[in-house]
Amino acid sequence: MATTVFLPAILAKLADAKQLQAPGETVGAVVNDVATRFPDLGERLRDSKGEPYPFVTFYLNDEDIRFHGGFAATVRDGDELTVVPSIAGG
Amino acid sequence: MTTTHAAASPTRLTLLPQRCTLCGTEYPAEANAICAQCLGPLEPLYPKHRVLPDREDIARRAPSLWRYREWLPFSGEPVHSHDTGFTPLIEAPRLAARLGVARAWVKNDAVSQPTLSFKDRVVTTAINAAHALGLGVVGCASTGNLANAVASHAARAGLSAWIFIPEDLEPAKIINTAVFGANLVRVRGHYDDVNRLCALLADRFGWGIVNVNLRGYYGEGSKTMAFEIAEQLGWRLPTAVVAPMAGGSLVTKLRKGFGEFQRAELVNGPSPRLYGAQASGCAPIVRLVQSGAATLTPEIPHTIARSIAIGNPADGPFAAKAMVESGGWGAHVSDEEIVAGIRLLAETTGVFAETAGGTTVAAAVNLAREGRLTADDEVVLCITGNGLKTTDVVRDVLPAAPVVDAKVREVAALVAERG
């Protein structure tokens, strides 16, 4: 079971890739897999408490995960998780 | 602080470098608004010992926001949009009486040039930033007013514009964008969906998206509203300012602007208390202030105030901090109160504001009722957009005009009927 994780340019260099495949049954598990493989990137995906890093927003299939339980949101095989810097707009 | 006369010789426009507001990492001038180290917001880095103008220097300059150019993120002469800013500050005694405050003024960006909203200010700095960086394409994610402004400023600068808006925006805001020849794209979803798309598009196409990768330079234009309020009050500060909040940037930049004028010794006295206004159907920043929560909870907007319907505001935490630190607060109002606010402003000041203005006025009414605005207060209400763009929200609540034959007796009957 794999989710495709899309990274913005400013984070892609920390993984040397714009997109990754990661296993996991929740968004948190997917992020944990990515963070384990790329620790520097992990610091920009999770804060010290393991919560979503405050300056990124996660979208699971175009939906903000905060409306679906945050890192506890369930993912299915083939889902897309897009990471977007939160400093934009207004 | 040195306040000698600033040099006025024309020089080529260049952009100042930037610095992360969170971790302090510095960056050269470029189309980037995010710190690569911590993903925090970048802001222009002004030279510590630059020469600043005094009151008389500023008063001699043309009536536009460029009279404060030492506090804008450039060196050299601006190239585009010389006419934006210095909108009227109108004393509003009848509105003050309704609020029960000592004095009230309307900062009237409903007549901002060229597109009748305060977004002309931020686009003025952004379009000059795009010029300095040599960008040929600009764009934005917008709830309407920014779309109008980017399309207009880009048209006269000769730049191509790609503008993204929510699908269901008010017809007037769509027309007021399309007329300038911009590439206008309606996106299915709310503003926050549009904003997410534009964050990805900036990566993909390298455009200068004013509120994405030019955001650090763009935001500085908002400070000029604070500068103008101070100067137009006779180089002094009000005790309170009420402003609408969408992404939260305006409140944050008002605080920054008032502070910069205090540090330059152009004004004295305490900083104004800042009050942010939102619609109850989309009030994540107000609820952050009122709850005292550590993090902002995003919302899905449901309000007639579409110009401020941002459920995931990037500057929300910063705006909440600015309000609380200033001694101010936040207020949210219902759609009915917003319409009543539009009418109250119109009937007491002669200014026709769009829904964000109705939100601001209605919030001021509620803040006064709660005792947060008091009889000693001198209050400025920031009216950021023009009512002609959102006539649909008031059309059905205004009394129908009677139709008569061109006969004096028919008018006499009406006069008698209405007393």
- B58: in domain: yes
Which tokens belong to B364?
A: 């001021």
Polymer length in residues for chain B:
419
- The pLDDT of residue B11: 82
Q: Mean pLDDT of all residues in chain A?
A: 96
- A81: in domain: yes
> Does residue B110 sit in the same domain as residue B123?
no
> Does residue B262 sit in the same domain as residue B378?
yes
Looking at the structure of chain B, the number of domains it has is 3
In B, minimum Cα distance to A58 occurs at B196
Q: Which of A8, A62, A89 sits opposite B141 (nearest CB)?
A: A89
Distance CA B354, CA B292 (A): 30
- A50: in domain: yes
Q: How many CB pairs under 8 A join A and B?
A: 77
Q: Which of B39, B200, B211 sits opposite A89 (nearest CB)?
A: B211
Whether A88 contacts chain B with CB within 8 A: yes
CATH code, B125: 3.40.50.1100
* Euclidean distance between the first and the last CA atom of chain B, given in angstroms as a whole number: 62
Residue B164 phi/psi, 5-degree rounding, is: -120, 130
> Does residue B260 sit in the same domain as residue B131?
no
- A90: in domain: no
Whether A55 contacts chain B with CB within 8 A: yes
CA distance readout (Å), B123 to B55, B147, B270, B290, B335 = 26, 10, 30, 31, 29
- B141: in domain: yes
Polymer length in residues for chain A:
90
Running along chain A, 90 residues long, what does each successive block of 10 average in pLDDT?
Answer: 94 97 97 98 96 96 96 97 94
What is the span of the domain harbouring residue B140? 119-218
Which tokens belong to B272?
A: 């104004």
To probe the interface with A, which of B22, B32, B165, B196 has the most A CB atoms within 10 Å? B196
Last residue of a domain, one of B218, B249, B272: B218
Give every strand in the sheet of B26-27, ordered side by side. B26-27, B18-20, B42-44
- A9: in domain: yes
Residues of B in contact with A9 (CB under 8 A): 203
CA distance readout (Å), B292 to A56, A66, B288, B296, B297 = 22, 19, 6, 10, 12
Residues of B in contact with A89 (CB under 8 A): 141, 191-192, 195, 198-199, 211-212, 247, 310, 313-314
pLDDT 10s per residue in chain B (419 long)? 333 344 444 588 999 999 999 999 999 999 999 999 999 999 999 999 999 999 999 999 999 999 999 999 999 999 999 999 999 999 999 999 999 999 999 999 999 999 999 999 999 999 999 999 999 999 999 999 999 999 999 999 999 999 999 999 999 999 999 999 999 999 999 999 999 999 999 989 989 999 999 999 999 999 999 999 999 999 999 999 999 999 999 999 999 999 999 999 999 999 999 999 999 999 999 999 999 999 999 999 999 999 999 999 999 999 999 999 999 999 999 999 999 999 999 999 999 999 999 999 999 999 999 999 999 999 999 999 999 999 999 999 999 999 999 999 999 999 999 98
**Which DSSP symbol is given to A83?**
E
- B137: in domain: yes
**Which DSSP symbol is given to B184?**
E
CA distance readout (Å), A11 to A38, B272, B414 = 11, 39, 70
Residues of B in contact with A56 (CB under 8 A): 39
What is the span of the domain harbouring residue A37? 2-85
- A18: in domain: yes
- The pLDDT of residue B5: 40
Looking at the structure of chain A, the number of domains it has is 1
In angstroms, the separation between the Cα of residue A29 and the nearest Cα of chain B is 22
> Does residue B154 sit in the same domain as residue B284?
no
CATH code, A23: 3.10.20.30
In angstroms, the separation between the Cα of residue A78 and the nearest Cα of chain B is 21
- B161: in domain: yes
- B82: in domain: no
> Does residue B188 sit in the same domain as residue B64?
no
Residues of B in contact with A86 (CB under 8 A): 39, 312, 314
> Does residue B250 sit in the same domain as residue B355?
yes
- B147: in domain: yes
- A58: in domain: yes
- B84: in domain: no
> Does residue B63 sit in the same domain as residue B100?
no
Asked if B196 lies within 8 A of A84 by C-beta distance, the reply is yes
